[in-house]
């Protein structure tokens, strides 16, 4: 069982479990955990799956995972916040990842990023208020041969310029200046 | 599955080969330039032209010249086509009938290709990474069979010691010694881990190896497991490499089905299972103890060594942990002998090294050269120098743990020791070329920002030191620093370097120190005059003296 004894936490877990019973995605996540035999060392794999299903990790979801893997919630929260890949906030409908690896950087990825930031009116790591567009930076996506690279909704696009990038994200950020 | 079956499979695959092979690059770089559509279009064109009997369209791994992708190579005429678009792809097939081709032709006899010597990348661009048969046809898994049936684990380690192979992850620890230590370590349960958490920005060799030839890594791991007596392996891959993950998973499934992984491999008592572990975007997980914590499902923070993983690693069991490229070297070493491998390279650095050439250079892509190749040959002859008439200013090796080698040292042979002497490191193999337009202080700040973000926060010198160094560099760049700040910067770098817990902190100051060593002028030009410097009034006609 969950290693928390206070009444409040127990209530929170009960609420999460009840909420989960009506959602198909929790069922899929449970199956995934079963495949890993509910082992604690599968935590990162499970969180990957959870983020894939839900888009981000909210408190209830982390409590759910903690409960099923028999881990303290602090451990799940600690892992989820340690790794950059996990996000605790919802992402926008469209995502643009600007690679800031060394090769991309010396070839002007910072200029591409600045152009998009200005156009969308948000900083890297933020989402527009209308939840349409998230701007993210990456440390290196390993596409250095075609630098600077930008990933638009999962599609790696080679040799970007500030103008080309603005053209791509034009439709996604309607509320920019 | 025994040797007869393996050879039969190879014969079958070779017999099914068609006289003409069109090889399409399907590694991540070319796929992002619509490589998949090119391949589909080629397949359709071959079918439409009724050449299905004579021509094979094969999706292969990296064809190396990434900047000109998507690449298509046609055998046996050795024709190379660059920047192929799906619309034009059909004309490559028409060219087989003697028609004119509209696609740009590359030169396969360029020094970029001819100066390479392939061991790790021997299969890259030749075999189909999605089919184990293709790897078997290239003599794959024969080394594993030979080791299991003709060699003792001790003999395998002997062979590795004789090869002189050093770890390709960056530190360059002799692989044979590591294997021998794990072999001798007491423990019923042992593990093998392949470190595929290629976090250095600007490095993509491991990604290419995994995407192009995943089976060579699996075979290398199986050989390592046999040598040290392990039965479970993990490959820790970055989540940023989805294609590599997919191909590895396919490869593991196929290897299990064929009986070269799993229980009773090649009808011997040897068992070996491999599982994938997906990283979640933490650079520090490239450090071995942090990586093992991450495999165990914890926060990826390093711990002090000793005990080294060879004695107490994953779940406190003896663990063999090597880099992707190291494992990819192993099958070739056992197939051709350690002495053959030791004959390549320099006295203290044996074999070849794969580099990811990128940055301000004409030919970007993947190269594999013998150790000891001068840097000038790599960047000027193979890389073609800086584009647009600019001149090369420096070459950055080793990512955020490495340093910048200035143009005047381009004649340095590339091996572990020569690079160390210049204050840089071999690293995992990223090589970023910088031209005159690159400001070195900005580069140092860029790397320090990286280390600052990626510091796991466990030890203070790294957690606080990187922030302070970054602050000082920003101050220099803003033109607000004085000579005193520069002195403090050097002192701080020294402190962080010598007192940090793990490799991340210990090497984080390297980019600053190396740019300070070779490009000090660029720092000094940004400094404010020292407010405490006193100019003495001296009689006219004498030389003025400045006292600080």
pLDDT in tens, B383-432: 999 998 889 999 999 989 999 999 999 999 999 999 999 989 988 899 99
Q: Within chain A, which residue ranges are assigned CATH 3.40.30.10?
A: 94-169
Average pLDDT in chain B:
93
The helix or strand, by DSSP H or E, that contains position B193, with its residue range, turns out to be strand B191-196
**B335 and B188 housed in the same domain:** yes
Per-residue pLDDT at B541 exceeds 80: no
Interface of A with B in 40-99 (CB under 8 A): 40-45, 47-48, 75, 78-79, 82-86
A125 lies within 8 A of chain B by CB: no
| Residue of chain A minimizing CA distance to B437 | A106
Residue B162 CB coordination number (10 Å)? 17
Domain contains B542: no
For residues B72-85, average pLDDT: 92
**B429 and B503 housed in the same domain:** no
**B403 and B327 housed in the same domain:** no
For residues A14-37, average pLDDT: 88
Residue of A49, A80, A106, A113 to mutate for B, most B C-beta atoms under 10 A:
A106
Whole domain around residue B515: which residue ranges? Answer: 440-524
Last residue of a domain, one of B342, B376, B403: B342
Q: Determine which of A9-23, B441-455, B496-510, B517-531 has the lowest per-residue pLDDT on average.
A: A9-23
Chain B positions in Cβ-Cβ contact with residue A105 (cut-off 8 Å): 201, 446
pTM for the complete prediction? 0.92
For residues A56 and A75, what is the distance between their CA atoms, to the nearest angstrom? 17
A107 lies within 8 A of chain B by CB: yes
CB-CB under 8 Å, A43 with B297: yes
Reported as a single tens digit per residue, the pLDDT across B26-56 is: 998 899 889 999 999 999 999 999 998 999 9
pLDDT for the residue A38? 94
Reported as a single tens digit per residue, the pLDDT across A40-60 is: 999 999 999 999 999 999 999
Per-residue pLDDT at A1 exceeds 50: no
For residue A130, give both structure tokens. 């209308």
A94-169 CATH, one of 2.60.40.350, 1.20.58.2030, 3.40.30.10, 1.10.3720.10:
3.40.30.10
Last residue of a domain, one of B408, B435, B462: B435
**B393 and B482 housed in the same domain:** no
CB-CB under 8 Å, B66 with A146: yes
CB-CB under 8 Å, B239 with A82: no
For residues B329 and B199, what is the distance between their CA atoms, to the nearest angstrom? 21
CB contact at 8 A, B404 and B395: yes
Per-residue pLDDT at A6 exceeds 90: no
Domain contains B80: yes
For residues B436-442, average pLDDT: 92
How far lies A53's CA from each of A12, A25, A49, A82, in Å? 21, 6, 6, 20
| Residue of chain A minimizing CA distance to B431 | A103
For residues B299-322, average pLDDT: 94
Cα B399 → chain centroid: 11
A141 lies within 8 A of chain B by CB: yes
Domain contains B543: no
* Total domains, chain B: 4
Pick B300's closest partner by Cβ from A82, A101, A105: A82
Reported as a single tens digit per residue, the pLDDT across A93-146 is: 899 999 998 889 888 999 999 999 999 999 988 898 888 899 989 888 878 888
User: Which among B277, B175, B268, B281 has a CA at the least distance from the CA of B228?
Assistant: B175
For residues B186-199, average pLDDT: 94
Q: Looking at the complex, report in whole angstroms how far the Cα of residue A6 sits from the nearest Cα belonging to chain B.
A: 25
pLDDT for the residue A176? 47
**B307 and B214 housed in the same domain:** yes
CB-CB under 8 Å, A155 with B456: no
CB-CB under 8 Å, A103 with B201: yes
**B420 and B467 housed in the same domain:** no
pLDDT for the residue B441? 95
CB contact at 8 A, B226 and B336: no
- CATH number, domain of B520, equals 1.20.1440.230
Last residue of a domain, one of B59, B80, B114: B114
Q: Which residue carries 């060799």 as its tokens?
A: B205
| Residue of chain A minimizing CA distance to B440 | A106
Chain B positions in Cβ-Cβ contact with residue A102 (cut-off 8 Å): 201-202, 358-359, 396, 399, 430, 432, 446-447
Per-residue pLDDT at B201 exceeds 90: no
Chain B positions in Cβ-Cβ contact with residue A144 (cut-off 8 Å): 66, 202-204, 356, 358-359, 364, 430, 432
**B201 and B78 housed in the same domain:** no
User: Which among B490, B340, B348, B491 has a CA at the least distance from the CA of B415?
Assistant: B348
Secondary structure (H, E, C), B484-501: HHHHHHHHHHHHHHHHCC
**B496 and B512 housed in the same domain:** yes
Domain contains B388: yes
Q: Determine which of A62-76, A161-175, B200-214, B466-480 has the lowest per-residue pLDDT on average.
A: A161-175
The helix or strand, by DSSP H or E, that contains position B443, with its residue range, turns out to be helix B440-454
Residue of A33, A140, A154, A160 to mutate for B, most B C-beta atoms under 10 A:
A140
For residues A134-163, average pLDDT: 89
pLDDT for the residue B151? 95
> pLDDT class for A2, splitting at 50, 70, 90?
very low
For residue B123, give both structure tokens. 């299969």
**B163 and B280 housed in the same domain:** yes
Reported as a single tens digit per residue, the pLDDT across B485-526 is: 999 999 999 999 999 999 999 999 999 999 999 999 999 999
Dihedral sign, Cα of residue B411, residue B415, residue B421, residue B426: positive
- CATH number, domain of B34, equals 3.40.30.10
Domain contains B125: no
> pLDDT class for B5, splitting at 50, 70, 90?
very high
- CATH number, domain of B411, equals 3.10.20.600
pLDDT for the residue B315? 95
For residue B407, give both structure tokens. 């143009």
For residues B155 and A57, what is the distance between their CA atoms, to the nearest angstrom? 50
pLDDT for the residue B133? 95
If one compares B441 and A170, the residue with the highest pLDDT of the two is: B441
User: Which among B305, B284, B322 has a CA at the least distance from the CA of B505?
Assistant: B284
Q: What percent of chain B has pLDDT over 70?
A: 97
Is the previous residue joined to B132 through a cis bond, with omega within 30 degrees of 0? Answer: no
> pLDDT class for B379, splitting at 50, 70, 90?
very high
Chain B positions in Cβ-Cβ contact with residue A44 (cut-off 8 Å): 277-280, 294, 297
């Amino acid at each position: 069982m969950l290693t928390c004894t206070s009444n409040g936490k127990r209530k929170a877990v009960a609420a999460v479990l009840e909420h989960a019973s009506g959602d198909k995605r929790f069922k899929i996540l449970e199956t995934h955990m079963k495949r890993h035999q509910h082992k604690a060392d599968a935590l990162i794999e499970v969180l990957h799956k959870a983020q894939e299903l839900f888009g981000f990790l909210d408190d209830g979801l982390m409590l759910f995972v903690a409960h099923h893997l028999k881990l303290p919630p602090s451990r799940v929260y600690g892992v989820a916040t340690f790794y950059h890949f996990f996000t605790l906030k919802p992402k926008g409908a469209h995502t643009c990842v600007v690679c800031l690896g060394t090769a991309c950087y010396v070839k002007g990825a910072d200029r591409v990023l600045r152009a998009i930031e200005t156009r969308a009116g948000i900083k890297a790591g933020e989402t527009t208020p209308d939840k349409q567009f998230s701007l993210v930076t990456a440390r290196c996506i390993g596409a250095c041969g075609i630098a600077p690279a930008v990933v638009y909704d999962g599609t790696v696009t080679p040799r970007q310029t500030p103008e080309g990038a603005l053209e791509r994200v034009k439709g996604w950020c309607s509320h920019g200046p | 599955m025994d040797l007869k079956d393996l050879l039969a499979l190879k014969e079958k695959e070779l017999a099914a080969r068609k006289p003409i092979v069109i090889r399409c690059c399907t590694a991540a770089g070319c796929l992002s330039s619509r490589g998949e559509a090119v391949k589909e279009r080629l397949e359709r064109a071959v079918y439409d032209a009724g050449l299905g009997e004579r021509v094979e369209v094969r999706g292969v791994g990296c064809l190396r010249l990434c900047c000109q992708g998507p690449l298509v190579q046609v055998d046996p005429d050795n024709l190379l086509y660059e920047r192929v678009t799906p619309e034009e792809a059909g004309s490559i097939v028409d060219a087989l009938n003697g028609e004119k081709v509209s696609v740009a032709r590359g030169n396969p006899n360029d020094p970029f290709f001819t100066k390479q010597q392939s061991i790790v990348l021997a299969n890259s661009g030749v075999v189909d990474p999605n089919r184990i048969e293709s790897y078997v046809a290239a003599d794959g898994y024969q080394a594993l069979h030979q080791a299991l049936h003709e060699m003792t684990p001790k003999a395998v380690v002997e062979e590795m010691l004789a090869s002189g192979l050093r770890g390709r992850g960056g530190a360059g620890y002799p692989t044979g010694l590591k294997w021998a230590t794990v072999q001798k370590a007491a423990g019923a349960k042992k593990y093998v881990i392949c470190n595929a958490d290629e976090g250095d920005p600007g490095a993509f060799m491991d990604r290419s190896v995994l995407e192009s030839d995943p089976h060579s890594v699996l075979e290398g791991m199986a050989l390592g497991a046999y040598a040290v007596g392990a039965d479970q392996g993990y490959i820790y891959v970055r989540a940023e490499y989805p294609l590599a993950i997919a191909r590895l998973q396919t490869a593991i499934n196929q290897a299990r089905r064929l009986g070269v992984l799993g229980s009773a491999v090649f009808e011997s008592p040897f068992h070996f299972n491999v599982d994938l572990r997906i990283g979640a975007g933490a650079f520090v997980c490239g450090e071995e103890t942090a990586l093992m914590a991450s495999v165990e499902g914890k926060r990826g923070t390093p711990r002090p060594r000793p005990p080294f993983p060879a004695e107490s690693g994953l779940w406190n069991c003896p663990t063999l942990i090597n880099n992707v490229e190291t494992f990819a070297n192993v099958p070739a070493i056992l197939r051709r002998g350690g002495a053959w491998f030791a004959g390549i390279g320099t006295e203290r650095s044996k074999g070849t090294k794969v580099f990811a050439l990128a940055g301000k250079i004409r030919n970007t892509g993947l190269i594999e050269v013998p150790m000891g190749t001068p840097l000038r040959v790599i960047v000027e002859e193979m890389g073609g120098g800086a584009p647009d008439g600019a001149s090369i200013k420096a070459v950055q090796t080793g990512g955020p743990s490495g340093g910048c080698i200035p143009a005047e040292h381009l004649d340095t042979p590339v091996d572990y020791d020569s690079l160390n002497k210049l204050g840089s490191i071999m690293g995992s193999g990223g090589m970023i070329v910088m031209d005159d337009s690159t400001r070195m202080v900005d580069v140092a700040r860029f790397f320090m920002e990286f280390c600052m973000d990626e510091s796991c926060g466990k030890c203070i010198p790294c957690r606080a030191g990187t922030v302070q160094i970054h602050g000082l560099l920003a101050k220099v760049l803003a033109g607000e620093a004085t000579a005193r700040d520069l002195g403090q910067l050097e002192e701080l770098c020294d402190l962080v370097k010598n007192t940090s817990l793990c490799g991340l902190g210990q090497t984080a100051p390297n980019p600053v120190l190396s740019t300070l060593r070779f490009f000090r002028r660029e720092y000094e030009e940004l400094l404010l005059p020292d407010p405490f410097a006193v100019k003495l009034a001296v009689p006219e006609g004498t030389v003025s003296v400045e006292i600080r």
